[in-house]
Homo-oligomer: A and B are copies of this chain.
Amino acid sequence: MKNFADRLISEIDKKGSSICVGLDPRLSQIPGFIVEKYLEEHGATFAAAGGAILEFNKGIIEAVKDLVPCVKPQIAFYEQYGIEGLKAFQETCSYAKKAGLIVIVDAKRNDIGSTAEAYANAFLGKVDVFGKEQSVFNADALTVNGYLGFDGIKPFAEACKKYEKGIFVLIKTSNPSSGDLQDRTVDGNYTLYEMFGHLLESWGADEIGEKGYSSIGAVVGATYSEQAKKLRKIMPNTIFLVPGYGAQGGDASDIKPCYNEDGYGAIVNSSRGIIFAYEGSKKFKPEDYKEAAREATLDMKKDLKSVEVK
């Protein structure tokens, strides 16, 4: 059975890279020449914000589309500009897909039963609109928070099966206080993140594709290398989405344990380090933000090559 992981691996092979570019547009960091255009047209409105974000994103997508297999828009950066921001989000997803990129929506959605189904409809599947099935945001994969247990995973996993999509469930996150819950020793044996890793691997066991990976992936932060090593052993059939490279402090050596011996098993995200690479650069002006993003991606590609096993 072919699944999302097979599609992802095929794109990793095609692009020769396991980089994911995070599309986290911060209005204050979008080059002035873009912002001014929309300010002039719409004034200081949500519509101007949405327009500037979308144009900026399109530029980044064009700059990196032949270098990386996937992009990861973080929906909070769009949601904060309301309906107009979410329009820019929807058009960004659609533009990236047309550019041949796999779209992983970082929304960390979580709920149970029919509510979780509604989220799965919105991001991965289709929704019934008076008897007509329609796609909404139509991403390829979605990040999910699993604090609610299996009830909170199952509706998403079912959508993955039905629509050949994927999810990445938060296991060990990259932030400093991730240990508040995740590092607690549970049942006298191991940590919560290890226990949850075991659980997730078993939940994904029925969803393994032709290349040996499940459509149910895990989020494992680049900033916790030792923990990633343990999780790699616990979860051999699970693809890790790895945030925390670059701006958050993780480097290539931190990421090495996230890969399996077959050279697969990890997708490494960089957001600010790529999309705003023009900032503080002597070589690139704001007008050259695309070239700066492309160079930063090539640098990251080189950096990761030193640790990708294959």
Q: Mark A112-152, 1 if CB is under 8 A from B, else 0.
A: 11111011011000011111101011000000011111111
Q: List 21 A-B contacts (CB under 8 A).
A: A27-B128, A35-B130, A44-B129, A74-B115, A76-B115, A79-B118, A79-B119, A80-B136, A81-B127, A82-B90, A83-B90, A113-B175, A145-B145, A145-B147, A147-B173, A151-B176, A152-B177, A181-B192, A181-B196, A185-B187, A186-B186
For A121, A129, A152, A199, the residue with the greatest tally of chain B CB atoms inside 10 Å of its CB is A129
Expressed in whole angstroms, the minimum distance between the Cβ of A64 and any Cβ of chain B is 21
Using a CB–CB cutoff of 8 Å, the interface residues on chain A facing chain B are 24, 26-28, 35, 39, 44-46, 48-49, 74, 76-77, 79-83, 86-87, 90, 108-116, 118-119, 121-122, 127-132, 134, 136-137, 145-152, 170, 173, 175-182, 184-188, 192, 195-196, 199
- Check B76–A118 contact: CB distance below 8 A: yes
**Among the listed B76, B130, B131, B170, which residue makes an inter-chain contact with A148, where contact means beta carbons less than 8 Å apart?**
B170
- Check B151–A177 contact: CB distance below 8 A: yes
Which 7 pairs, one residue from A and one from B, show the smallest C-beta to C-beta distance? Answer: A149-B180, A149-B177, A76-B118, A44-B130, A184-B186, A80-B118, A151-B177
